[in-house]
Amino acid sequence: MGIGIEEVRNSESTRRWFSSLLDLWGPSAVRPGLVETLARFCTVVEKTPDEIIDECLRATTGGDTFVLRTRARKQFMDQIDQFENQTASRDEANVVRSFFIHNGIAMNPSILV
């Protein structure tokens, strides 16, 4: 299943990501290749950007706040690590991590004891 570039570009979560990047870092932060990288990740996990975020965040009863689904986040963190290994590119994996972070999903590394 391929996720189309336009579907990725036009998704609410992608627009939120770009808006946050622009607000924090300015126009140079929204560089060529970001959408394409996210689209490749979406194809790997067989989900649209909005589906990914919806899996990680659950609306509370009032609908005005969200609760993080830690199990879903952990699964996506593992998939990002696999994506990094497949692409042999930490930069591409960091693009995907940026997408999660700017949509309100922390990407805390695992703590080894």
Question: For 44-84, what is the HEC assignment?
Answer: HHCCCHHHHHHHHEEECCCCCCEEECHHHHHHHHHHHHHHH
What pLDDT is attached to residue 56? 95
What pLDDT is attached to residue 112? 55
Helix axes 34-45, 90-101, angle to 10 degrees: 90
Tally Cβ neighbours within 10 Å of residue 15: 12
Which residues, in sequence order, are CB contacts of 32 under 8 Å at separation 6+?
A: none
Span 69-82, pLDDT tens digits: 889 999 999 999 99
What pLDDT is attached to residue 3? 82
The segments of the chain whose pLDDT lies below 70 read 1, 109-113
Measured distance between the N- and C-terminal CA atoms of the chain, rounded to whole angstroms: 39
Residue 14 three-state SS: helix
Stated length of the chain:
113
Q: What is the pTM of this model?
A: 0.90
